[in-house]
Amino acid sequence: MQSDLSRLMNRFQRAAVSAHPLQVHGRVRRITGVIIHASLPMVRIGELCEIRDPVSGRTVPAEVIGFDNDDAVLSPIGDMAGMSTRAEVIPTGSIIQVPVGPGLLGCVVNALGDIVNDNGRDPDAAAGIVALYPTLAEPVNALQRDLVRDPLQLGIRAIDGLLTVARGQRIGIFGAPGAGKSSLISSIVRGTQADVVVIALIGERGREVREFLDVQLGVEGRKRAVTVVATSDRPAIERVKAAHCATAIAEYFRDEGKDVLLLMDSVTRFARAQREIGLAAGEPGTRRAYPPSLFAALPRLLERSGPGVGGSITGLYTVLTEGDETLDPVAEEVKAILDGHVSLSSQLAEKNHFPAIDILRSRSRLMDAVANESHRASATAIREMMARYEEVELLLRVNEYKAGSDAVTDRAVERHQAITDFLRQESHEHSTFNETLDRMWELAN
């Protein structure tokens, strides 16, 4: 009797192991703008679902972003055109993960990590995909991060010399449209000493993507870069996920012990996409109608870069500004989170001074930690001369300043043009760190 019972239990156990779990289907209740409400029990926030329409035959992925009473609130990652009232929602039980590996170098990928352009490489490049990384991940434990000790060459004299960036630093590039952010980014990609470059183009114009890749970056610039693209016409959730996808790819290379340069253009468009999702989901608007969820999402995104254990992610994040930066909640929040800021001046851009970096209104908070004493002394002397010249510039224009009145001012006026020539740099021109320091020493001494 006992043996019969044991055999029966074994049969039930084998049947349970081999049986496929029951797949739960939900139904779309309503679609409002970029938000879908669906009757879908037993799902989690962040879970990936599939929306299948039996009429059109289309399948669109979507992510659960919240709940409204008994309904799940989803944001589709794709165009909802053609979906009908008979559409079903099927949870996958997993979160969004992106394929990562050395095979991504030189490729352009979308917000889900799918390769959309392999830059003419071997079709077997997919063999270089070795793992899956979640798009939403926790930052490295603060007590386990390596200390910041070394500078990272970017090839831009104004930054390397006067706004030195450390390996693992996070710095913002703030400027109005047309101030030269994209050109500066492409110059940095070609001149940096980072092992790997990950570029996130968030909300860019479709025309500018090809121009940026083929003209500004060029063949050499793309060889060691992974580019994540979500143009302005893509759904808001896709633009948000592109930022997380790029960060996840950078995290993989950091975990491999590489020094990664993560360039995100721009955080402002990421914030606008997050606002679009939040308002459509019913969140209240705060400053400039940005929902509270944005101010929680920004530090979660930006804190994922920085020094790791053995590798690092140096983050450069562009921020679009209009008028007074203090009135822009995104610019104010990002500046408070990051380790420094580079301010681009529209006035300098109008004078054809590129890169249009306003040195006196820019600051690297970690420069003192990675620059030697001679470097710091030269940078201080040049900054002081620039500040003194700015004080007397109006007097010089109206011919009210007399040479010999003040020795420090005379020195600043005498070397103004040489400093301007040092800060100006053609997009194809790159300087090594030692060349930059030698020219700074000559200017200061």
Q: Please count the CA atoms within 13 angstroms of the CA of 155 that sit on its side-chain side.
A: 17
Single-letter amino acid, residue 306: G
- What percentage of residues in the chain have a pLDDT greater than 70? 91
Instruction: Write out pLDDT tens, residues 79-96.
Output: 878 787 788 899 988 888
**In 3D, which of 263, 182, 169, 266 has the Cα closest to residue 224?**
263
Q: Is the pLDDT of residue 22 over 60?
A: no
pLDDT band at 199 (very low <50, low <70, confident <90, very high): very high
Say if residue 94 is exposed, middle or buried (CB neighbours under 10 Å; 0-12, 13-18, 19+): exposed
Evaluate the CA torsion angle 117, 122, 127, 128 in order and state its sign.
Answer: negative
Angle at alpha carbon of residue 316, lines to 318 and 351, rounded to 5°:
55
Is residue 268 within 8 A of residue 319, CB to CB? The reply is yes
If you ran DSSP here, which 8-state letter would residue 155 be given? S
Position 283 scores a pLDDT of 84
| Mean pLDDT (whole number) for 159-166 | 96
Helix (H, G, I), strand (E, B) or coil at 226: strand
Could you tell me the pTM of the whole model?
A: 0.88
Q: What pLDDT, on the 0 to 100 scale, is given for residue 13?
A: 56
pLDDT at 303: 95
CA distance 235 to 242: 11
- Which domains, ranges and CATH numbers included, belong to the chain? 17-94 (2.40.10.170), 98-370 (3.40.50.12240), 374-444 (1.20.1270.330)
Instruction: Give dist(CA 77, CA 236) in Å, integer.
Output: 8
pLDDT for res 121: 54
pLDDT band at 255 (very low <50, low <70, confident <90, very high): very high
